[in-house]
Amino acid sequence: AILGYQANSNGKVIVEKGGEWLIKNNDSSIEFQIGNQGAGEATIREGGLITAENTIIGGNATGIGTLNVQDQDSVITVRRLYNGYFGNGTVNISNNGLINNKEYSLVGVQDGSHGVVNVTDKGHWSFLGTGEAFRYIYIGDAGDGELNVSREGKVDSGIITAGMKETGTGNITVKDKNSVITNLGTNLGYDGHGEMNISNEGLVVSNGGSSLGYGENGVGNVSITTGGMWEVNKNVYTTIGVAGVGNLNISDGGKFVSQNITFLGDKASGIGTLNLMDATSSFDTVGINVGNFGSGIVNVSNGATLNSTGYGFIGGNASG
């Protein structure tokens, strides 16, 4: 099924009021394409249902695709979701709408592509697969990707990586009370550039190891502000500057909480910086290693609080 196949074409589908569209062949997988070379838009509202296999939004360089899932009981279930493959893709999940992802999702897949996912007004993006290999999200694989969660939006997934490949740029924004991302780990700047901003009481819960600036070319930046919080649970490490550059900035009531050790500057090429900027900002960790084999910098200012309940090393194996 294709909406907007040829260049300059325009295809639109609305599934609503209990209507159902089943895109399936029992003998082979069928792709659902929204904006192949032209413009395509699919809207699911007022209890509409779509069931599809691999779904591609903004397939080719000229393709512009939009998927809207809105209202209670409006659901699309897909296997793999590619949003912005070579072109431009936008996914809007709002007003209690739901996307069920059976496997993984890539947002901003190829170099030059752009993909955006907006989860807002109690919208929910849920990953159903079991095992890490089938639940991950790349925001900015080799292209440009954005994930925006606001106004009680919710995302449940495996590991989320922003800025996967060297050309990849990924931005994650979580804002507003009861807006939550729960995942199995958060990586910002694997080999590309990754940013995450948590604000206005937004929450990210990472139940797995997390990193900022993983590869030598990776750059990962996190800003936690205005009551935002990042929790890293399940007895796993957080590393700021693994082999690349990582920066964690906490201000205006932002909070970071880890149930295990935090490393800054892990490998020889790693540079990790932590900035705690004011009295309402806090950083709580079981232990902290500032400069393991690389370079680690911690700045605590203006009455900010850093709590380390376990061991602490400065310049563990090299420079701190």
Q: What is the pLDDT of residue 27?
A: 65
Q: What is the pLDDT of residue 319?
A: 44
* Total number of residues shown for the chain: 320
pLDDT confidence band for 24 (50 / 70 / 90): confident
Environment class of 181 (CB within 10 Å of its CB; exposed 0-12, middle 13-18, buried 19+)? buried
Residue 319 falls inside a structural domain: no
Q: What is the pLDDT of residue 229?
A: 99
Q: What is the pLDDT of residue 267?
A: 97
Number of domains the chain contains: 1
Residue 64 falls inside a structural domain: yes
List the beta bridge partners of residue 115.
89, 145
Residue-wise pLDDT for 26-42, tens only, equals 766 789 999 999 999 99
Residue 62 falls inside a structural domain: yes
Residue 320 falls inside a structural domain: no
Environment class of 256 (CB within 10 Å of its CB; exposed 0-12, middle 13-18, buried 19+)? buried
List the beta bridge partners of residue 275.
249, 299
User: Are the CB atoms for 218 and 163 separated by under 8 Å?
Assistant: yes
Residue 251 falls inside a structural domain: yes
Residue 7 falls inside a structural domain: yes
Q: What is the pLDDT of residue 309?
A: 87
d(CA 114, CA 42): 18
Q: What is the pLDDT of residue 141?
A: 99
List the beta bridge partners of residue 183.
206
Expressed as residue numbers, the domain containing 116 is: 2-314
Residue 97 falls inside a structural domain: yes
Q: What is the pLDDT of residue 320?
A: 45
Residue 167 falls inside a structural domain: yes
